[in-house]
Amino acid sequence: MPAPKRLGVHDILALFRHPPPDSMLVSAHRGLRWDGTPENVRTMASRLTVRRYGRVLTVVLLHDDYLGRVTNIAEAKGTEDVYSPFTGRGYSPRYDSVPWAGGLDQLQLKNETGHICEEGILHLDTLLTLIRDHKLEIVVFMDIKEVAAVPAAYRILKGHTNARGISAIGELPVNLTNIHPEWCVWKMDALFYPSPANLEQAEWFQDALATAKPAYIPVFRPNAPAAMDVVAAAKAWSTRPYVLTFEVGLRGPGGNLQPLLDFLVGAGISVGFFGTYGDVHPPLSSGSEECLFDMGALDFAALRDPDAPIVCFESGASPVTYHSIVAPGESLDGRDSRSDLDLYKSLGYSWTIVDLTPRTADLFRAQARVQPPLSRGWWDDRLRTVT
């Protein structure tokens, strides 16, 4: 039997633009982290090769707005006031209060139990170099956290190619047999550029349209309906050939983004979402490190119990459940239902981003068995402005 065809960039993009019927593409959140390995690290390349998991989301620079949870900032500053995400107390300055050179670039990452690891904060330039050096055939989703970071990110992308020499921003085809698709996709909050006209007026995007073949994903969060007519905005975006797919953060059926989802699904346009499986997970193996974070009145083992409520970290506070932070109107029953993949598949969603946990591990294993030897998937870079 011949070996299955390896997925290429065209194949990956096609899966998002035109997903197979009754499918749910699963992507690993925070760099395919697992027991003892910190989130968003360079060793993802070897892990992808070994595990054969498809699409992987990683964060370039930092996932959090503050440094205490994921770095050794307190230890590096020589203070014993070490931040704990379980109490919300300790030294945890904002990322933009520390310069990159001589500051962020000197820090080391912590894993989920507070142990300091050897790897430092991942930079976009480093990630793109890693992709080339490891000959990874992947698509990078540029999930921008600040609109001010976009021009700088674009400049970095223009200086990089993959192992085949194809520019990160893609190249306009010279002829029909010489098509070099983009392998970096722009994924931004819909409020950054409320309409296609706003995006197309940006100098960096004008350059991209003139010299490359950009792809774009508008991300609609629950705060969007208060600022715009989301259905009208989606109708405008859907006319643009550079729009690959949509991300819609509906918290539960009947929420304020339901009309937007109904329009997209009815129009046959693919839609994805972030699945809320929490920040505290049971170990994936029998071994488990001692938690070095101050737990306060909480019990680490109890939080990691498979039957424990799903919780997420809040900077400066103890962990909270996703249900507790759903605002009025975001969900008909006031609950966050994004951990129910079967429900969201029935609503018309075709792709999701979730953490690799005991609750979701079977999803990744099943996808690795069904899909050809990988694509090595997709990375998602949540970019910030640093100095």
Please, what are the domains in the chain? 9-61+122-278+322-380 (3.20.20)
Whether the per-residue pLDDT at 223 is higher than 90: the answer is yes
Q: What is the dihedral of CA 202, 203, 205, 209, to 10 degrees?
A: 130
In the predicted model, what is the mean pLDDT of residues 163-185? 69
Specify the 3-state DSSP secondary structure of 275: coil
Q: What angle do the packed helices 258-266 and 230-237 form, to 10 degrees?
A: 30
What local confidence, expressed as pLDDT, does residue 1 receive?
40
What local confidence, expressed as pLDDT, does residue 257 receive?
99
> Across the chain, how many H-helices and E-strands are there?
12, 13
Q: Among 70-84, 101-115, 139-153, 315-329, which stretch is predicted with the lowest mean pLDDT?
A: 139-153
pLDDT range class, residue 58, cuts 50, 70, 90: very low
Q: Which has the higher per-residue pLDDT, 386 or 369?
A: 369
Whether the per-residue pLDDT at 229 is higher than 90: the answer is yes
Q: Among 42-46, 115-119, 297-301, which stretch is predicted with the lowest mean pLDDT?
A: 42-46
Give kind and range of the element (H or E) at residue 124: helix 124-133
Spatial CA neighbour of 336 closest among 222, 242, 208: 222
What local confidence, expressed as pLDDT, does residue 290 receive?
86
What local confidence, expressed as pLDDT, does residue 377 receive?
42
Specify the 3-state DSSP secondary structure of 41: coil
Q: Which has the higher per-residue pLDDT, 319 or 144?
A: 319
Whether the per-residue pLDDT at 34 is higher than 60: the answer is no
Q: Cβ neighbours of residue 91 under 8 Å, at least 6 residues apart?
A: 68, 73, 74, 77, 79, 81, 82, 83
Please state the pTM of the whole predicted model.
Answer: 0.87
Q: Cβ neighbours of residue 144 under 8 Å, at least 6 residues apart?
A: 150, 153, 186, 187, 188, 189, 192, 382, 383
Spatial CA neighbour of 257 closest among 277, 235, 231: 231
What local confidence, expressed as pLDDT, does residue 61 receive?
60
Token representation of residue 103: 């500051």
Whether the per-residue pLDDT at 341 is higher than 80: the answer is yes
Spatial CA neighbour of 46 closest among 367, 287, 376: 376
* Averaged pLDDT score across all residues of the chain: 83
Q: Answer yes or no: are the C-beta atoms of 202 and 193 closer than 8 Å.
A: yes
What local confidence, expressed as pLDDT, does residue 7 receive?
61
pLDDT range class, residue 278, cuts 50, 70, 90: confident
Q: How far apart are CA 347 and CA 357, in angstroms?
A: 23
Q: Among 89-98, 180-189, 237-246, 338-347, which stretch is predicted with the lowest mean pLDDT?
A: 180-189
